[in-house]
A and B are shown apart, each in its own frame.
Chain A
Amino acid sequence: MSQTAHLTPPPAAPAGWKHFISLDNRYVAPIFITCILLMGHLSFGILESYQRTLLAIVVSIATELALGRIFFHKWVHPASAYISGISVGILLRSPAFWPYALCAAISIMSKYVLRIKGRHIWNPSNFGISAMLFLAPETVATLSIQWGNYLLPMLVIWVLGSVIIWRLRRFHITFTYVVSFIAFAFLRSLITGSPWQSEIAPITGPMYQLFIFFMITDPKTTVRSKTGQCVVVFLVALAEMIMRMYQIVYAPFYALFIVGPTAMLIEIWLDSRRASSEKLAVAH
């Protein structure tokens, strides 16, 4: 997950007391995800250990700083890498230490290696976690059932997450996905004959909260238009639905892994075509 950043320039620093309660949008998502981590661990012990999560964060930030310095000749703001690291630290489950470091490094490096026209097309932690699940399934899993199954903590996350995502002007993405998921869940229930409750169950679990609030809303790896963003997450939910029909446990990760970059590539191609047309028009 990259940072859920604002789309508009940050407002000028407010004066007086407002200065203390107004927060740069760059820090909103890191603070929110840190709160989720702390709440989850202090109440449910969700982490394998603080050390593993810390390792993922440190490797993530260190990789970002080093690669930013090498390729962009500047110190990149670490907020995005922090979110990627903490996401890896929460979502990845492994008794070993090395998968946390490897996944964090792969996640950040993917931003620098897999670039088209200067834009990275995969959500970093989605890429890293999907890669680990593909390549090291005997060592890693993701956060799925290692959390409380109770409603209250989920309600807190939903309310807080919605408010924050609204503030960041990306609530429509989360909302579209959730509505699509629920609709597809009922459709799956009709097709497979499974109880609808079992089809709805995943979105009531912890993994999805990180997925819907952080991963699919990543501004760097979503298309620009609001309508396009809604269409893309609908397609993510559709791809997930199809994968679920084939009983793929990590369907949401893989769906985003496929649909997200495809949408990005299409947008980049359209941009490129538009730019060519404009050049031609100017030439004529």
Chain B
Amino acid sequence: MTMMTTGSRIARAALGIVFVGLLVTPLVLKRLSARRAADRSSADVKTTMARHGFYLQEVSQAAGIRFVHEAPALDPKLESIMPEVASMGASVSIVDFDRDGWSDIYVVNSAIGTRNCLYRNLGDGTFKDVAGELGIADVNQPGTGVSTGAVWGDYDNDGYDDLFLIKWGRPELYHNDQGHGFTRVSEQAGLPSWINANTAIWFDYDGDGLLDLFVGGYYAEGIDLWHLTTTRIMPDSFEYAKNGGRKYLFHNLGHGKFEEVSERVGINSHRWALAAAAADLRGSGHPDLFIANDYGVSELYFNDGKRFHEVGEQTGVGFAPKSGMNAAFGDILNQGRYAVYVSNISEDGILIQGNNLWVPKQGTSGDAIKYENLARDFGVELGGWSFGAQFGDLNNDGTLDLYLTNGYISLDRNRSYWYDFSKVAGGNSTIIGDARNWPAFEGRSLSGYQSKRLWLNDGAGKFVDVAQAVGVNDTYDGRAVALADLWNRGVLDVVVANQKGPLLVYKNTVTPENEWIEFELEGTATNRSAIGAQVTMYWNGQQQVQEVSGGSGFASQNQRRLHFGLGKYPQMERAIIRWPSGKLQTIDKPAAGQLHKIKEPA
């Protein structure tokens, strides 16, 4: 082959120029992207308010919250990779445990002998830890494992939310004695002696008016992480593992007793569950169950009121395996349908899984509903080693925004474990599955010190990260995120639990031009916590649906109160409440700027 002619030389030179141009294309794209991000984050408070309509201020110290999470120290056989195997446990949940109208904060600790805290909201901008005096602090005693999360629901319909404590260890149920104390009722309830779980949710799957409880195992339940008989406790595959903990569905029989029915109703999985959430995704009147699994595909269970049917692959959410760590629902397009956000891992140049935003496909609904991952199109795909995320209208502009925390293990800033991690994670199951085969951590970081994401929804299908601009500057190893109107101001504040880090409380200040409305529901025929009740808000010719949740995100629970931002000058039309009992209740032209306390009509 010869290229001797002048024409060929010119063509070759032109090809060379194009070739170099293509090589520098990624660098140009990176530069442009960095410039846009810098523009967004370099503004003062006044400009930020004008541009985004809100800003956040971290106020935990001023609010009297000085909680720092401690990680567990597991069996010494795991010492060399302790930072990894003990990398979860930080959790936060919101509850008004004493029904005084102020949201309280429960936060768990994960080292043996440490204490969990229940921060009672004093209503004056401060909180006071009352867990000790109420009997739910000293719950990480030797031999019982440690706390990894908590969810609240009124399982006996006495008006007060009860506490289910998620553990790597002995799971606990505490009955709320009318806000004056808690009584441990785990044995009476029929809970098993040991589960290594990171997720649980309250929901009434069979619509009998009694809250049931789902618990998703992570490590297999036969493993006592403090007294190992084997080091073969790790996943047998990085993305196809099925040697995790089993799943539990505790059917509420009433009178404080539960019956485990998971297998009987069609839930039989040993994937490594990290997050679960339930909502009526098909308009069937029954809550469907979404499980985000680490080391594998997500699972979606359609619920017909009696049985569950796994439809992950059929609906599109359960084919490509990733490292699911979050499950949150949000009507991001104000269409009356939920999208599902699942967080995964993205590390530059090593592993780009990308987070998933499962949006219902146009033209599909009901049992034939299909989802497509539009995370990239919407701009919420890359969030580092992502963990907890929640949808909420943080600037009250009428669209749901997305807060994501991230960061896995922050140790030595200059030395990374990624090389060793990727080396082993791609290996054969006999290698990856045994902790002895994993190289020692030796103080290295693994996706540590990461910047958080706060994606603002423009309502037209794009989210823009404004975290740095609005004051979210921490780089702790974030795990759980919970949203609540902590000071009854008509805005959503953000609480973040960090692994081996402080509990952060981001107080929100929103431009007063943007209006809001909130609903606090109480069931009668329905479970009294009203978990599963849906409110569809209609205003300005648009609608948005939200559902009272018994746990979502990662190891977290938002306030049960539903908060809608309405934007400027909202023309209120109506709110329609669909109670889990099937009753529909319409409120015409509800007043904006108010909390509406609504009891299910007889």
23 A-B residue pairs with Cβ-Cβ distance under 8 Å, sorted by A, are A44-B321, A67-B15, A71-B1, A71-B11, A71-B15, A72-B1, A113-B19, A133-B349, A135-B26, A137-B348, A145-B238, A146-B238, A146-B239, A149-B236, A149-B428, A150-B429, A193-B440, A198-B431, A201-B437, A204-B427, A205-B428, A248-B419, A249-B350
| B354 on the A face (CB < 8 A) | yes
Q: Known A45-B321, A72-B1, A138-B30; judge A131-B23 contact (CB<8 A).
A: yes
Bound-state Cα–Cα, A138 to B27, Å:
10
Closest-CB distance, B347 to chain A (whole angstroms):
8
Residues 408-438 of B, flagged 1 when their CB comes within 8 A of A and 0 if not, give 0000000010111011111111111010111
Asked whether, in the complex, the Cβ of A138 is within 8 Å of the Cβ of B428, the reply is no
Asked whether B591 is an interface residue with its Cβ less than 8 Å from the other chain, the reply is: no
Is A151 part of the contact surface with B, judged by Cβ < 8 Å?
A: yes
Q: A2 → chain B, closest Cβ, in Å?
A: 15
Q: How many A-B residue pairs have CB under 8 A?
A: 169
Q: Which residues of B contact A131 (CB under 8 A)?
A: 23
Task: Return chain B residues, CB-CB under 8 Å to A94.
Answer: 352
A1 to chain B minimum Cβ distance, whole angstroms, is 19
Interface residue B351 (Cβ < 8 Å from any Cβ of A): yes
Quick check: A95 and B376 within 8 Å, CB to CB? yes
Interface segment out of the listed A102-110, A233-241, A256-264? A102-110
A145 to chain B, nearest CB (A): 4
Add 17 more A-B contacts to A72-B1, A194-B439 (CB < 8 A).
Answer: A45-B320, A95-B375, A95-B376, A113-B15, A132-B26, A135-B23, A136-B29, A139-B26, A140-B352, A145-B426, A148-B239, A198-B424, A198-B427, A198-B439, A202-B426, A244-B419, A249-B350
Instruction: Let me know if B3 is at the binding interface, CB within 8 A.
Output: yes
In the bound complex, residues from chain A placing their C-beta under 8 Å from that of B351 are 93, 141, 144-145
Taken together as a complex, chains A and B put the C-alpha atoms of A110 and B353 apart, in Å, by 28
- Asked if A206 is at the interface of the complex by the 8 Å CB criterion, the answer is yes
Size category of the B interface is 35 or more
A206 touches which of B2, B381, B426, B436 (Cβ 8 Å): B426
Docked pose: A135 CA to B25 CA in angstroms = 9
> B237 near A: Cβ within 8 Å?
yes
Q: Is the CB of A95 within 8 A of B352?
A: yes
Question: With A138-B348, A201-B437 known to touch, is A194 a contact of B239 (CB < 8 Å)?
Answer: no
Q: Shortest beta-carbon distance, B512 to chain A, in Å?
A: 39
Q: Identify the B interface with A (CB < 8 A).
A: 1-3, 8, 11-12, 15-16, 18-19, 22-27, 29-30, 236-240, 297, 319-321, 347-354, 375-376, 381-382, 416, 418-420, 422-432, 434, 436-440
Given contacts A109-B22, A135-B27, contact A198 B437 (CB under 8 A): yes
Binding site for B on A (CB under 8 A): 44-45, 48, 67, 70-72, 93-96, 99, 102, 105-106, 109-110, 112-113, 118, 131-133, 135-141, 144-151, 154, 192-195, 197-202, 204-207, 244, 247-250
Given contacts A145-B239, A149-B236, A248-B419, contact A201 B352 (CB under 8 A): no
Can you name the residue of chain B whose Cβ is closest to the Cβ of A194?
B439
Known contacts A96-B376, A106-B19, A201-B437: does B30 contact A136 (CB below 8 Å)?
A: yes
Given contacts A102-B26, A147-B239, contact A141 B431 (CB under 8 A): no
